[in-house]
Amino acid sequence: MRWTSIVAIYTLFWVLSAFLVMPFGVRTHDEAGIEKIPGQAESAPADFNPRRIALRATILALVLFGLYYANYVNGWIGPDNLNFFGKPPNYDGSIG
Protein backbone atom coordinates (compact mmCIF):
# COMPACT_ATOMS: atom_id res chain seq x y z
CA MET A 1 0.00 0.00 0.00
CA ARG A 2 1.38 3.40 -0.92
CA TRP A 3 1.97 5.98 1.78
CA THR A 4 -0.46 8.38 0.10
CA SER A 5 -3.19 5.75 0.39
CA ILE A 6 -2.33 5.25 4.04
CA VAL A 7 -2.63 8.99 4.73
CA ALA A 8 -5.93 9.26 2.82
CA ILE A 9 -7.52 6.25 4.52
CA TYR A 10 -6.29 7.33 7.97
CA THR A 11 -7.77 10.80 7.35
CA LEU A 12 -11.13 9.23 6.53
CA PHE A 13 -10.97 7.17 9.73
CA TRP A 14 -10.02 10.30 11.70
CA VAL A 15 -12.98 12.34 10.42
CA LEU A 16 -15.36 9.46 11.10
CA SER A 17 -13.88 9.08 14.59
CA ALA A 18 -14.22 12.80 15.29
CA PHE A 19 -17.94 12.68 14.55
CA LEU A 20 -18.29 9.51 16.64
CA VAL A 21 -16.59 10.89 19.77
CA MET A 22 -17.93 14.46 19.58
CA PRO A 23 -21.17 13.94 21.53
CA PHE A 24 -19.55 12.06 24.45
CA GLY A 25 -18.88 14.10 27.58
CA VAL A 26 -20.75 17.18 26.36
CA ARG A 27 -22.85 18.98 28.96
CA THR A 28 -25.24 21.86 28.32
CA HIS A 29 -25.31 25.02 30.43
CA ASP A 30 -28.38 23.71 32.28
CA GLU A 31 -26.63 20.44 33.14
CA ALA A 32 -23.47 22.27 34.25
CA GLY A 33 -25.43 24.83 36.27
CA ILE A 34 -24.06 27.79 34.30
CA GLU A 35 -26.16 30.79 33.31
CA LYS A 36 -27.01 30.99 29.61
CA ILE A 37 -26.42 34.03 27.42
CA PRO A 38 -29.68 35.52 26.04
CA GLY A 39 -30.45 34.02 22.64
CA GLN A 40 -28.19 31.00 23.19
CA ALA A 41 -29.35 27.61 21.92
CA GLU A 42 -30.55 25.23 24.63
CA SER A 43 -28.25 22.48 23.33
CA ALA A 44 -25.03 24.56 23.17
CA PRO A 45 -22.17 22.90 25.05
CA ALA A 46 -20.96 24.60 28.22
CA ASP A 47 -17.28 23.74 27.86
CA PHE A 48 -16.45 22.74 24.29
CA ASN A 49 -12.85 21.51 24.11
CA PRO A 50 -11.67 20.73 20.56
CA ARG A 51 -8.29 19.43 21.79
CA ARG A 52 -9.98 16.70 23.83
CA ILE A 53 -12.11 15.71 20.84
CA ALA A 54 -9.06 15.69 18.55
CA LEU A 55 -7.12 13.49 20.99
CA ARG A 56 -9.99 11.02 21.35
CA ALA A 57 -10.51 10.98 17.57
CA THR A 58 -6.80 10.38 16.98
CA ILE A 59 -6.70 7.43 19.37
CA LEU A 60 -9.86 5.87 17.93
CA ALA A 61 -8.65 6.44 14.35
CA LEU A 62 -5.32 4.76 15.16
CA VAL A 63 -7.13 1.70 16.51
CA LEU A 64 -9.55 1.51 13.56
CA PHE A 65 -6.82 2.07 10.98
CA GLY A 66 -4.63 -0.52 12.70
CA LEU A 67 -7.42 -3.08 12.37
CA TYR A 68 -7.99 -2.06 8.75
CA TYR A 69 -4.29 -2.36 7.88
CA ALA A 70 -3.93 -5.70 9.68
CA ASN A 71 -6.88 -6.99 7.65
CA TYR A 72 -5.30 -5.58 4.47
CA VAL A 73 -2.01 -7.38 5.15
CA ASN A 74 -3.46 -10.67 6.44
CA GLY A 75 -6.61 -10.85 4.29
CA TRP A 76 -8.95 -11.92 7.10
CA ILE A 77 -12.08 -10.46 5.48
CA GLY A 78 -12.23 -10.07 1.72
CA PRO A 79 -14.87 -9.26 -0.88
CA ASP A 80 -15.93 -12.91 -1.09
CA ASN A 81 -16.75 -12.89 2.64
CA LEU A 82 -19.09 -9.92 2.16
CA ASN A 83 -21.12 -11.42 -0.69
CA PHE A 84 -24.30 -12.27 1.19
CA PHE A 85 -26.42 -13.10 -1.86
CA GLY A 86 -24.14 -15.52 -3.70
CA LYS A 87 -23.08 -15.33 -7.32
CA PRO A 88 -25.56 -13.75 -9.73
CA PRO A 89 -27.23 -16.07 -12.24
CA ASN A 90 -25.23 -16.69 -15.44
CA TYR A 91 -22.05 -15.38 -13.83
CA ASP A 92 -18.90 -16.41 -15.70
CA GLY A 93 -16.42 -14.15 -13.90
CA SER A 94 -15.63 -11.88 -16.84
CA ILE A 95 -16.23 -8.15 -16.93
CA GLY A 96 -18.31 -6.71 -19.74
Confidence of residue 91 (pLDDT cuts 50, 70, 90): low
DSSP assignment letter at 41: -
- In 1-96, the DSSP E strands lie at none
Q: Residues 11-40: pLDDT tens digits?
A: 999 999 999 999 998 899 999 999 998 999
Indicate the DSSP class of residue 6: H
Q: With CA atoms as reference, report the closest residue to 44 among 36, 55, 33, 52.
A: 36
Strand-pair partners of 45: 28
